[in-house]
Amino acid sequence: MAHAVGPEEDLLPSIRQLITSVSPSLQAAGTLAAAEDVLFHLEETDENFHRYEFVKYVKNKIEEVLGPLIEEKLENRDFNEHSKDPEMP
C-alpha cells in the first residue's frame, strides 16, 4: 500500500523541530496547567519562536489566506464610508 505524500508531510520536520525545542520547558512545567501556560506564552518567552520553520509556515499561510480577505473588507469599508459622506466630491 503506497503512502501519499502531501503538504502536511513536509511539515513533520518543522513540527518535530518545534516540539524538540519546547520539550524541556514542558517537562519542567510539572503540571498540565503549567505546560499549557508555557505553550500560551511561547512567543513571549522563547527568543527563537519566530525562527521555527513551523511558525514561519503558519504565519505565511495566515498572511496568504487572510491577507486578501482583510484587504477586501477594508476596501469595502472605505468605499462604504466614502459613499455615505455627502461632503466627499
Digit-by-digit pLDDT tens for the chain (89 residues) are 444 445 666 899 999 999 999 999 999 999 999 999 999 999 999 999 999 999 999 999 999 999 999 999 999 988 887 776 556 55
Which pTM value belongs to this model? 0.66
CA atoms of 34 and 45, how far apart (whole Å): 14
The pLDDT value given to residue 2: 44
Phi, psi of 47 (to 5 degrees): -65, -20
CA atoms of 60 and 67, how far apart (whole Å): 10
What is the CB neighbour count within 10 angstroms for residue 21?
Answer: 15
Q: CA torsion, points 13, 44, 33, 18, in degrees to nearest 10?
A: 10
Q: How far apart are the first and last CA of the chain?
A: 67
Are 39 and 27 in contact by the 8 Å Cβ rule? The answer is no
User: Number of C-alpha atoms within 13 angstroms, CB side, residue 73?
Assistant: 5
